């Protein structure tokens, strides 16, 4: 059964609201932005806003749907196309680093406030789902028997978020490909030098 197509007006209105919020974030603190500010910037009424979203946090979270779809697609490509098992792991990683680099001005505008909590929490949820799916797709290969899957998910996502934050806080000077390779190496091999194994 085919899903009904979303009305173009709905798509256009949601995109307009998203754009309004994103432009406001660059001008003022997320906490200071009101629904009225968003509606004024988008040139829509409050009733239109509430027909689509319950709050500005809801609007902010919804903006990550396109990112989630991109990361899911990249992960699927990696799981089916790479020959090397290490290259298949965490197929979302490079795409996420590239997205973060391309939107680092939004990251800086959100850090330390409610908007950052919402954004980073949403990214953490997306990544947790991707890692969980990857572990299920690979049959947990390489995990010790006593290791709960959810612990591994939290460990990988926590490490990824720490690397992402460190990289962005430092101005994202390293190219995304380099930071991705470093994360993958740490996640798959750990910190033990090769000669010590």
Reading the block at residue 118, the tokens are: 């919402």
Q: Are residues 39 and 75 in the same domain?
A: no
* CATH number where 39 lies: 1.10.10.60
- Do the domain assignments include residue 1? no
Q: Are residues 132 and 37 in the same domain?
A: no
Q: Are residues 146 and 52 in the same domain?
A: no
Reading the block at residue 148, the tokens are: 């709960």
* CATH number where 118 lies: 1.10.357.10
Asked if residue 37 lies in contact with residue 24, where contact means CB atoms within 8 angstroms, the answer is yes
Q: Are residues 46 and 17 in the same domain?
A: yes
Q: Are residues 35 and 104 in the same domain?
A: no
First to last CA, the chain: 54
- Do the domain assignments include residue 2? no
Give me the pLDDT at residue 197, please. 47
Q: Are residues 113 and 138 in the same domain?
A: yes
Radius of gyration of the chain (CA): 19
Give me the pLDDT at residue 137, please. 78
Q: Which range of residues forms the domain containing residue 35?
A: 8-56
Structural domain count of the chain: 2
Q: Are residues 51 and 69 in the same domain?
A: no
Give me the pLDDT at residue 193, please. 61
Give me the pLDDT at residue 146, please. 66
- Do the domain assignments include residue 92? yes
**What DSSP string runs through 152-179?**
HHHHHHHHHHHHHHHHHHTTS-S-HHHH
Give me the pLDDT at residue 125, please. 94
Q: Are residues 121 and 165 in the same domain?
A: yes
Give me the pLDDT at residue 116, please. 77
Go through 150-182 and write b for each residue having 16 or more CB atoms within 10 A of its CB, e for each that does not: eebbeebbeebeebbeebbeeebeeebeebbee
Q: What is the pTM of this model?
A: 0.77
Give me the pLDDT at residue 105, please. 83
Reading the block at residue 82, the tokens are: 């790479």
Q: Are residues 12 and 103 in the same domain?
A: no
Give me the pLDDT at residue 45, please. 95
Give me the pLDDT at residue 107, please. 77
Go through 31-70 and write b for each residue having 16 or more CB atoms within 10 A of its CB, e for each that does not: eebeeebbbebbebeeeebeeebeebbebbbbbbeebbee
Q: Which residues of the chain have pLDDT under 50?
A: 196-197
């Amino acid at each position: 059964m085919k899903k009904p197509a979303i009305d173009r007006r709905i798509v256009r209105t949601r995109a307009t609201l998203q754009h309004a919020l994103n432009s406001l974030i660059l001008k003022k603190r997320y906490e200071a932005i009101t629904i009225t500010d968003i509606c004024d910037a988008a040139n829509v009424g409050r009733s239109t806003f509430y027909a689509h979203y319950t709050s500005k946090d809801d609007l902010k979270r919804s903006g990550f749907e396109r990112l989630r779809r991109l990361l899911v697609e990249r992960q699927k490509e990696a799981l089916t196309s790479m020959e090397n098992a290490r290259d298949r792991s965490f197929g979302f990683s490079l795409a996420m680093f590239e997205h973060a680099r391309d939107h680092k001005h939004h990251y800086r505008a959100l850090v330390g406030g409610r908007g950052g909590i919402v954004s980073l929490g949403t990214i953490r949820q997306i990544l947790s789902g991707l890692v969980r799916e990857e572990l299920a797709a690979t049959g947990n290969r390489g995990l010790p028997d006593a290791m709960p899957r959810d612990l591994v998910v939290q460990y990988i996502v926590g490490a990824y978020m720490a690397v992402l934050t460190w990289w962005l806080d430092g101005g994202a000077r390293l190219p995304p490909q380099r930071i991705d390779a470093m994360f993958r190496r740490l996640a798959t091999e750990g910190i033990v030098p090769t000669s010590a194994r």
